[in-house]
Amino acid sequence: IMIHIPHQALWLQWLLLAVALLALVGGLSQPGQLQQSNAWLQDRITRSQARPATPEVVLVLADDRSIASIGRWPWRRALHAQVLRHISAGQPQSIGLDFLLTEEDLDYPEDDLLLAHTMAASGRVVLPVVPIGGGGQEALLPLPLLAQAAAALGHTAIEPDSDGSVRRFHPWQQATTAAGGMLWPHFTIAMQCVEHPQQASCQPLQRPPEAQALPPALSLIGFASRHPPFTRYAYIDVLQGRIPSGAFRNKHVLIGSNATGVATTAATPGAPEQAMMSNVELLAHTLHSQLQPHALHPASTSSNVALNLALVGAGLLAVLLLSPSSALVACAALAVLALGITWASASLWGSVLQPMAALLGLATAYPLWSWRRQTAALGFFQAELRALQQQSSTLLPGIPRRRGDFLQQHIVQVQHALQHLQHLQAQREQAMR
């Protein structure tokens, strides 16, 4: 590889370009910048990192067949109590009942008491704190009778990105209820804490934190591979006892709906082969990602800035010191390196970087510096041509312009001038001889 030492003027131009481009890349590496392009890359990385669904997660779904058999939604809570008794007999780790239970059942008031007794006897049922309004800042608690009987409560707030797709969740979410403001754990964290309350992430559940005590950082959802990825049973089959209780032993059981017209769905482009999924399925993927050795999480801002600036800085040095062809190869190699580092970081440590600022900087550095080199070359040709015309004003004929780009025209003019001067020099030597 040929290394070229640039002229002092080019050094100054390169320095100005480097400062401007690195400042731009640093700004674009901040949170909230290049969201759509970074999200597009994150979806591909998430799919490539998808692991087989953990067997600990099991779904019991109120599906279309169950609705056709039992009747229209909502169902009596006595049915939920019967399903919970059957599942609890199998000694699961936890049971997440993802149903809206915020009001009394006026038609069958005795069902509320029956469901509360069943939940208290199980000691493993988690109920949702349901977000309402914008951003999930307000939430509804379950019916007080049921909330007291539950083993834990957890929020089910969805955090869509700017394109409306769901890729992340809040491990902790501040939500205002009738009882006041409080920081709630995510539904899936509450489920894990039923069986393992000694985990570090479960300690705040023992003593509910204040809103400012635990910052609610975002985590990414590592979707499971294959479709359908999790073991799933129809609600009607569990209700009628066709699924043995032993099938739920040591499992995290999520009960919810994916029936048409009943279930709430979300766009999930990061999930392999499943661009849309119901809320209970999304909870299953969220729980699955937390049970992995390296749960996916966004890389820190400092990591993104350092990576992007280092790669673009290397690219700027390449365009300065190398030939145009070698610099192009170097910039392309650095772009591939950026993608490789991003993939390796997610695979080894679960940290998802945002390298789009580096890719944009590398794609900008080469054409900008090539433009400056071309401008410098054009200026050189113009200066040489003027010098030749001044030195040989009586001997050098006018050179007609030809078709072609601006730089090519000047190259041709200089070539013609040199050829004519060489011809004159030959004539002079011949005359001397």
**Residue 247: per-residue pLDDT:** 95
Q: What is the pLDDT of residues 369-427, one digit of tens each?
A: 777 776 766 666 666 666 666 665 555 555 555 555 555 665 666 667 667 667 767 77
DSSP, res 53: P
Is the pLDDT score of 136 beyond 50?
no
Confidence of residue 229 (pLDDT cuts 50, 70, 90): confident
Q: What is the pLDDT of residues 77-93, one digit of tens each?
A: 999 999 999 999 999 99
Compute CA distances 66 → 61, 76, 96, 259, whole Å: 8, 13, 19, 9
**Residue 296: per-residue pLDDT:** 82
Burial class of 28 by CB neighbour count within 10 A (0 to 12, 13 to 18, 19+)? buried
Cα(230)–Cα(394) distance, integer angstroms: 89
Give me the DSSP letters along 61-127.
Answer: EE-HHHHHHH-SSSPPHHHHHHHHHHHHTT--SEEEE-S---S--SS-HHHHHHHHHHHHHH--EEE
Q: What is the pLDDT of residues 322-365, one digit of tens each?
A: 888 888 899 999 999 999 999 999 888 888 899 999 999 999 88
Which string of b and e fits 223-252 if b means at least 16 CB within 10 Å? Answer: bbeeebbbbbbbbbbbbeeebebeebeebb
Q: pTM for the whole thing?
A: 0.79
Give me the DSSP letters along 240-268.
Answer: TT-S-GGGGTT-EEEEEE--TTTS-EEE-
∠ CA 128-143-266, rounded to 5°: 30
Q: What is the pLDDT of residues 182-220, one digit of tens each?
A: 788 899 999 999 988 777 667 666 555 554 455 557 788
Average pLDDT on 250-260 reads 94
Where is mean pLDDT largest: 170-184, 297-311, 414-428? 297-311
Mean model confidence pLDDT for the chain: 83
Is the pLDDT score of 62 beyond 50?
yes
